Amino acid sequence: MRDSGSSAVDATLPLFSIDQIDGRLPKAMQVYEIIRDAIISMKLPPGAPIVEKEICAQLGISRTPLREAILQLAKESLVNIYPSGGTFVNKIVLRDVLEGQLVRDTLEMRLVRLAARNFQVGFEREFDLALFKQKAAADRKDVDEFFALDNEFHKLVCTVAGHPNVWMTIHNSTGQLDRCRRQAFPIEGHFATVYAEHQEIYRCLKAKDEEGAAAAFQVQLDSTFPSLVLLREHLPELLQDYHEVDLSDIR
């Protein structure tokens, strides 16, 4: 299994490549996503410096889009900016994790229900392809790809609900939650479980079964809590405030 969550990154190799930037699209958002992915996958672990000169050289960009991206990452508490002291990747802040869980439990749950209500046959091909790619990633036990496809599945649900732009609201609110989910995944190794959950959500959406889709999504939401317990047991060094936060606060 690929597990970039706990293995050391070879500091001699560049983390980023100019090939990751599409010159036809706004650069700041692309840079934000690239660095966010590196933080979530632990290619940039807690405490790692964000070295602007190196990142700009590797991505072939100016400092302006990078600094816009860093400001957004700081808003999500994924990085800490110290005046005259540099920028560093933050630890996983459990209080922010729980806030991200609240966003999913309320806003995304509503979108799941709307997706079931508004589902059209034309979306079947996109879901079939999404699940096909998930199954292939699961068979390869490719954690990074499977996790990315997991998010793409939920983004598609927002589109089917009729509110595709709301995905970014969810995405920008769940960076710390995504870090927990991503780091727990190699420990849990439950590719088949997540894939089956997505199949069930899709089945309910096609049937326009709002209650069934909501119940299937709730199963996924509830899996966050055992994941947090696993991180507390196996990777406490990644966590901040884990002695202070009670997971029952939002259950």
pLDDT in tens, the chain (251 residues): 333 344 444 555 689 999 999 988 999 999 999 999 999 999 999 999 999 999 999 999 999 999 999 999 999 999 999 988 899 999 999 999 999 999 999 999 999 999 999 999 999 999 999 999 999 999 999 999 999 999 999 999 999 999 999 999 999 999 999 999 898 887 777 889 999 999 999 999 999 999 999 999 999 999 888 888 888 888 888 998 777 777 666 56
Q: How far does CA 51 lie from the centroid of its chain?
A: 23
Domains of the chain are 18-89 (1.10.10.10), 92-245 (1.20.120.530)
DSSP letters along 136-165, please?
HHHHHT-HHHHHHHHHHHHHHHHHHHT-TT
pLDDT of residue 7: 42
Long-range contacts, 76-81 (Cβ 8 Å, 24+): 76/172, 76/173, 76/175, 76/176, 77/175, 77/176, 78/36, 78/39, 78/175, 78/176, 78/179, 79/39, 79/50
Give the closest residue to 91 by CA, choosing from 45, 127, 136, 53: 45
18 vs 31, 56, 97, CA distance in Å?
Answer: 11, 9, 32
pTM of the predicted structure, to 2 decimals? 0.87
pLDDT of residue 230: 85
User: Which pLDDT belongs to residue 4?
Assistant: 38
**pLDDT, position 187:** 77
Within 10 angstroms of residue 55's Cβ, the number of other Cβ atoms is 22
| Distance of alpha carbon 204 from alpha carbon 219, whole angstroms | 14
Strands in the chain per DSSP E? 79-82, 86-89, 92-93, 239-240
- Beta pairing partners, 89: 79
97 vs 177: CA distance, rounded Å: 4
Residue 18 is which amino acid? I
